Chain A
Amino acid sequence: MRPVYIVGAGMTRFGRSEWPLVDLAATASLAALHHANLGKIPVDAVVVANMGAGRVNRQTAIASALVDRLSLWPAAAESVENGPASGASAVKVGYQAIASGMADVVLVTGVEMMRAVDGLEATDFVASLSHPEVEYIYGVTLPSLAGLFARLFMERHGVERRHLALVAIKNHDNAMKNPYAHIHQPVTMEGILTSPEAVVNNPPIAEPLHMFDCCPVSDGAAAVVLATQEVAAKIGAPRVLVAGIGQATDTHAVHERQDPTDLKAVRLASAAAFERAGLKPSDIDVAELHDAFTILEIAESEAAGFFKPGQAHKAIERGETQLTGKLPINPSGGLKAKGHPVGATGVAQIVELAWQLRGEAGGRQVAKAKAAYACNFGGFGNNVVATVLRKEER
């Protein structure tokens, strides 16, 4: 296998798109292409991550549409739909193309425009990833699966609502330093939990989870340019190596898992990514986790191996996951505050980490970041892609 480097990264601000779907994808792609500064080197393939354009935007085959918008013919092109893990899956497809020798330069773009429909329809569109026969028919939505999971996980590990609030406060604070974030609004413990007004400010969404435990519904796009070592050297790009990717699946219905609080697919995907990278969780300097719900940041950080089971909420209490802590988690603001355009999310995590490793993350830069980890959590944990990146010194 040939080594694969990230030589360019860009994104749009998440929130409500001012552009049509393909222009949104093209805007992020252009930012990544400019960042890479390829000159005359052609893009051999384009991979688009998207979950719902066929349903939500009534447009299909958007990878071909993106190639056309960017005049990248005759580049190969395909779309990847893998639920909320579409983004990292698309990066994996691009990685495989280069590692195998089928391509030298690949553009991977994630895009989602969910605000084209109302909230009810957007929630239902995402809910359609649940098991149709034994979950969806009961009115199961992603927040409900998170609520069911949270009650069990919190009881088992002694996690309280204030720990969830600490995750939200941290991620909102980080997003204040991220110009691409959907939400620029600092939140306080008083405002969302301890004051009398908190009951109104922070209504229940899926008990025990409340509004400030849940990510917003966002439009947005993110893109990376992947290339061979030879191309990376030619354009003089900083050496951000895709050191290892791991992926694992689990049962479709959450109730069928032996221990529903064990994020087994996160565990297995992470272990595979670390093994391929030749690194351990303790080598990681910065991580982007899939905090569609605050409880998931806590649970994933344990399943990925950064903390022992039942210890993550204590580390959060000690400030270890803040920007200046031992292991900064979600410096971008995470899905919680940066936003969650589902197909774009996994790519946006890699964009943030590439910027962090290049030292280009501005006010949210993690000092001396050399190794980074991302968890892109598909379904409700039934399809997870973990990615480890490493900066090579020249």
Chain B
Amino acid sequence: MSEKVYAFRCTTCGAVSYPKHMICPKCRGEAFEPVEVAGEGAVLTYTDVYALAVDYETRYLRLAIVELDGGMRVTGQLLDEHPRVGKRVRTTVGVVREPADKPIYGLQFVPA
């Protein structure tokens, strides 16, 4: 599918930010280029959350913060029946939320 998730690389110092900042937190630079968020990493922490927001029909959601190889961290949905802190995963992009108007695509993690 064409949906992709982007981080932002500072063209001055090379630091990559996710989410976007309009001033680089490292060097105060103001010019950025998008870089695709994709690859492998390790689960830093995860949770099964039953206190859900609107737009979800499931009983619970499994969410995780993953540290990608290279050091950038991302939050997303963990699609893994046997989650464990430190486990290797890779990113995919899928529908992460479905409000009435249109589906929203975002990061999902599957076992590497």
- Chain A residues in the interface with B (C-beta under 8 A): 120-121, 123-124, 127, 131, 133-144, 147-152, 155, 203-209, 214, 252-256, 260
Number of A-B residue pairs, CB cutoff 8 Å, is 114
Contact B19 A252 (CB under 8 A): yes
Contact A155 B85 (CB under 8 A): yes
* Whole-angstrom CA separation of A24 from B91 in the bound complex: 48
- Chain B residues in the interface with A (C-beta under 8 A): 17-20, 44-56, 60-61, 63-65, 73-77, 85, 96-97, 104, 106-107
Residues of B within 8 A of A204 (CB): 48, 50, 60
Residues of A within 8 A of B60 (CB): 204
Contact A133 B63 (CB under 8 A): no
Given A137-B106, A147-B47, A124:B75 Cβ within 8 A: no
Residues of B within 8 A of A143 (CB): 49, 51
Contact A255 B65 (CB under 8 A): yes
Smallest distance from the beta carbon of B100 to chain A beta carbons, Å?
14
Contact B53 A139 (CB under 8 A): yes
Residues of B within 8 A of A135 (CB): 75
Which residue on A lies nearest to B65, using beta carbons? A255
17 inter-chain pairs at a CB distance below 8 angstroms, sorted by A residue, are A124-B54, A133-B20, A137-B97, A138-B107, A139-B49, A139-B56, A140-B63, A144-B61, A148-B47, A151-B45, A151-B47, A152-B45, A152-B85, A205-B51, A206-B47, A254-B65, A255-B73
Contact A206 B85 (CB under 8 A): no
* Whole-angstrom CA separation of A203 from B18 in the bound complex: 34
Contact B53 A254 (CB under 8 A): no
* Whole-angstrom CA separation of A212 from B21 in the bound complex: 37
Residues of A within 8 A of B104 (CB): 137
Contact A134 B74 (CB under 8 A): yes
Contact B53 A256 (CB under 8 A): no
Contact B75 A127 (CB under 8 A): no
Residues of A within 8 A of B55 (CB): 139
Given A152-B45, A253-B19, A134:B53 Cβ within 8 A: no
* Whole-angstrom CA separation of A143 from B53 in the bound complex: 10
Contact A206 B45 (CB under 8 A): no
